[in-house]
Amino acid sequence: MDRNRVEQFRFALFGRMVMGVAHEVDNHLSVILGFAELAQITGGESKKTMDNMGKILSSGERINRIVRHFSFYVRSHAPVREPFRPSEMVGEFLTFSRYDLGRNNVTFALPESYPAGIMNGDRRDIALALLALLFNGAEAMADKGGNLRLGVSKDDGSWEFAVTDGGAGISPGMLSRIFEEGFTSKDGPYHTGMGLPVALYMAKEMGGALSVGNLPEGGCRAVLRIPG
């Protein structure tokens, strides 16, 4: 595993989200066009017209956020360290990934709260590792749906991001191979077997660790631990 492989995975993962981004943008464009037409018909300075203009502005701002955040996180780059709030990072990458994560009756749950403080690290690389874990969890529930949860905590100077799914778990025969590049038990063009290896590589590159294991009650839990 090297940086070139990471960037190849980044483009592949973001490529699969393009249709989801187009869907979200189209939804907001429909609002803009619909209310713009109403405003044109009603005209004047009526309260209804002003309300419609407010909805147009709101949808336009949402489109701007989707495109801006997608463009930022998809960009290849040399690793950098910068201060940021994990809650902001999560909110940013969810603007363009929530639709795809919620396919197949998967319900995504955000953390109820975030620890106080600023994290130092490469927010784009941390986001990529988290997206790899989140998509891995969502795909584990593709057959029947379920709850996908993200938890964020801080302990001894390190940040922990826990992704929990309600899938069938990892079979004993596959548990020892999940970090092998290219290993996957799923069919289809999107299942390249690179998500967990890339997440592990990113964790180690930032001086952290990644653990993945089955839960007693069923499902799987992946914990990304990053100092900073």
Digit-coded pLDDT (tens) for 134-162: 999 999 998 899 999 999 999 888 999 99
Nearest-angstrom CA–CA distance, 76 and 6: 9
Nearest-angstrom CA–CA distance, 36 and 23: 20
The reported pLDDT for the residue numbered 163 is 97
CATH fold of 82-227 reads Heat Shock Protein 90 (3.30.565)
Nearest-angstrom CA–CA distance, 14 and 209: 24
The reported pLDDT for the residue numbered 45 is 62
> What are the domain boundaries of the chain?
82-227
The reported pLDDT for the residue numbered 35 is 74
Helix (H) or strand (E) holding 159: strand 158-165
Packing angle of the helix pair 123-140, 195-205 (nearest 10 deg) = 150
List of the chain residues with pLDDT < 70:
40-45, 182-193
